Structure 1
């Protein structure tokens, strides 16, 4: 029997179904090639239908639960002589991460493949909130379409490389190159993209767009890549849609990635040790809006603290966010303008969809409606909002993960303002408590009570039994101030005293 084998077309289809059941990508799940005691390059050759060593071929099949490897092999090459393993020279994926699991996204993969292969799009952005699965989707897509390009290059932008460093890295992956400056580097890159079809993946674009010293040159690079003629495709993942690529055109597209549908999220939970029939499972998926990373990171807590009882976890009426996700979301919020942050705080206070007109009526100082609309558009572009539409008007609220981050920040900043005002007897320290009423106007809403209770608990830990007297002292400071200077301070202090 031959010491080398290749998979048949029918066999590859069987293996494809087996790896999907495990939530594995074709070549980016490290566990697969590690379990088979081989390399990513060999796994790629397996998928390309190349002949590989017989024992490795069998191990690859067994790693996904296929014991009948003969059904996978191409019978026509059983008598061929063995050939040595070889590296695949047309892939530069050293910076591509390994993906533990990947579920669903069939519709998105088909859409992206159509844009790239059929419509010949030059630039595509996969956009969505942190943890939603942008990188995993890009990896799964690259698995499917890499054979359509002469070369595939993956570059991670999480370390915030300068534009010249990124261009130097990409160009030297194509051919030995000396890059003088950004303008020259862009011209050289476009020359190569025009000569041969390349697939260039830029993962985590938001990391470099947040750097003021880099943003302009990166926007210039994206603008050139999206406008100039070439036969390649640039695939971007980002938490925010870059302004420089504009709206969808025939050759430039943006996919706004949402959470996993329930069936796929259930499969993800099964891979984490759940049966898929637990009480509260649907509510957990909805609470995290099908965010794969958020679900993966909260499940160990549910298993270790609540013994796998999802309902008991949900009864705590809280949203647990991992430190990793918190860091990413906080960094996003730090990039916001004062008006965008003010809108976030109002949406956190209301805790439900708010219309544009209703939102406008509660600003302490009248704001140009055009500026408010632009701020809302920017928040949406950064994947921070959820939108609700009906026949009469549209409404906005925050993504649940963002709601948790913003609410905690709102409470912390409000507590610091009170602490400073108490220490200095000066109301000039009030910012948020002056411009925002922590109880939804005209209601006794439980959401507003939740924020007030959280703030009250934070203050009691610092001031103890002296808190009521400290708050009354603040009220005395408001006596001779103008209504504009007081704003919502008095309302908030009175609510805390109740």
Structure 2
């Protein structure tokens, strides 16, 4: 007996009446897929008439009170049906997420459609966390699936090995086990040649460090098959040569206003344009901050903006912090300086404040890598480009800077060894050459952190650490004395 089933047209009508009696929606009632021990994506496949595992099919029927599941199943040709039956379109959403709403992106959708219809083998969608890469890929797949014989969605957020990914992809076409990468790649390419497939690989970031993935994508992009691979990622890998890339930016004001309207705000709300600009039209960030504005500030956007702060939800904070921690030491140093300056700074000016003399080519490469990761904003004027951080990134990097500086202070206070100073040695927390409110804000945040640790003994602790610098070389001291003096002066 076949290990998978699909519902007949008549069967879906019976199930539809059963769920209506319970007051359940087709796919939005969480209890349904939870009771069936499956996922919302699988439930959606059930309603599309796709084949799903026999046990899950039965569980979905049972959840709405149908015990005669055989009356729901499509009995025609069940025994003879195999996945490799190329006469029927095959759609596998697998772990594709459900997006509650989608706004704008018409230009990006049109560009993706043009590339795919032109026969591009690999297309990428890149952008900062929360910008809507997955939502765009879903919208594109919905629009384009009728143009293909086969649609397959795979999320790489769980960082599967390439063999594991190839195994799940190949099993869409034949019941086999992939034993090695070369075999699995050859089998997959065979079917990409034989059928016109649209394969979406969502969230490539976690596997970019695996060289075999880079080689796999390069091979797929160069092979003369008739299919298309769509990749979403927070960065465009320099090791993968792909010309067809949508670099996703924040929503335009009109689309962001539509999003905020759906969250209960009006387009004439005071401060609504400033809110959109503050979060650079990032859809996820706007969705995360609106409940706070409504609950804490009674929907008053101006009152929220007057707090002069940026609120980032735990989910977005985790992704951005994880991305920061994966950067090289030089890339982190550059972000720290940009967080200290908090305004666009040119490459030449940035270079003058690096304590350690570094080959300009290395600094340029680091800046280009940060651009590929969508972490920088570029400003061009007076013949020279300047760089700063997106506000969301600025918040994360500033918090990281303060946290790291406090740890260094604590280590030195405990050990009396100044070699623990790294960040406070290489970065001056006041904007170089000025005594401005921005630098004071960073120092204030650090002082508050240290005050929680040392209380009224903080001035004494700072003075004791300053004594440790006596007779040390300027090279060893770096910016340490400047930072400690600024902290002591403000305490």
What range is the shorter-chain TM-score in?
0.7 to 0.9
Corresponding residue for residue 263 of structure 2: 272
Deviation at 1:378, TM superposition (A): 1.0
Map 1:218-367 to 2 at 5 A. 218-248=213-243, 253-367=244-358
CA distance in 2, matches of 1:43, 1:395: 52
Question: For the residues of structure 2 that align with 1:247 and 1:137, how far apart are their CA atoms?
Answer: 19
Partner of 1:116: 116
Q: Which runs of 5+ in 1 are unaligned?
A: 5-29, 46-83
Structure 1 stretches of 4+ moved >3 Å: 30-35, 37-45, 84-89
Which residue is equivalent to 1:157?
156
Matches for 1:114-263 after TM superposition, within 5 Å: 114-117=114-117, 119-210=118-209, 215-248=210-243, 253-263=244-254
The 3 A distance-change label for structure 1 pair 34 and 476 is closer
Which runs of 5 or more residues in structure 2 are unaligned?
1-8, 11-23, 33-39, 50-73, 79-87
Kept in 2, the 8 Å contact 1:198–1:233? The answer is: yes
Aligned residue pairs: how many? 423
Shift of 1:89: 5.0
Deviations 1:80-122 (A, max 9, x none): xxxx9999851000211111000000111011111111x2111
Partners in 2 of 1:406 and 1:303 — Cα distance?
27
2:172 alignment partner, SS class:
helix
Q: Name the SS for the 1:243 alignment partner.
A: coil
CA 1:85–1:459: 2 relative to 1, 3 Å: farther
CA RMSD of aligned residues (A): 2.3
Equivalent position SS for 2:171: helix
Which residue is 1:78 aligned to? Answer: none
The answer to whether structure 1 residue 103 and structure 2 residue 76 are counterparts is no
Which position in structure 1 is the counterpart of 2:70? none
State TM-score, norm by structure 2. 0.82
Cα displacement (A) at 1:175: 2.1
Whether the aligned pair in 1 keeps the contact of 2:379 and 2:387 (CA below 8 Å) is yes
Seen in structure 2, the aligned counterparts of structure 1 residues 85 and 397 have a Cα distance that, compared at 3 Å, is farther
- How far residue 244 of structure 1 moved from its aligned partner, in angstroms, is 3.1
| Most deviating of 290-299 and 174-183 | 174-183
Structure-1 separation of matches of 2:75 and 2:288? 38
Q: Given that residues 135 and 203 in structure 1 are in contact (C-alpha distance below 8 angstroms), is that contact kept between their aligned partners in structure 2?
A: yes
In 1: Cα distance, 2:75 partner to 2:384 partner: 62
Q: Secondary structure at the match of 1:154?
A: strand
Corresponding position of 1:61: none
Partner SS for 1:329: helix
Q: Is the 8 A contact 1:222 1:244 kept in 2?
A: no
Q: Who is 1:90 aligned against?
A: 90
CA distance in 2, matches of 1:89, 1:228: 23
The normalised TM-score by structure 1 is 0.81
**Deviation of 1:404 (Å):** 0.6
Query: Who is 1:411 aligned against?
Result: 402
> Whole-Å Cα distance in 2 between the matches of residues 191 and 243 of structure 1?
28
Cα deviation, 1:270-324, whole Å, max 9, x if unaligned, reads 1111122211111111111110011111111111111111111111111111110
Post-superposition Cα deviations, 1:110-165, rounded to whole Å, max 9, x if no partner, equal 11111111x21110110000100000000000111111111000001111111000
Q: Which residue of 2 aligns with 1:384?
A: 375
- Taking the aligned partners of 1:32 and 1:278, their CA distance within structure 2 comes to 35
Q: Equivalences for 1:417-456 in 2 at 5 Å?
A: 417-456=408-447
Deviation at 1:230, TM superposition (A): 1.1
Query: In 1, distance between residues paired with 2:75 and 2:247?
Result: 40
Distance 1:416 1:340 in 2: 20
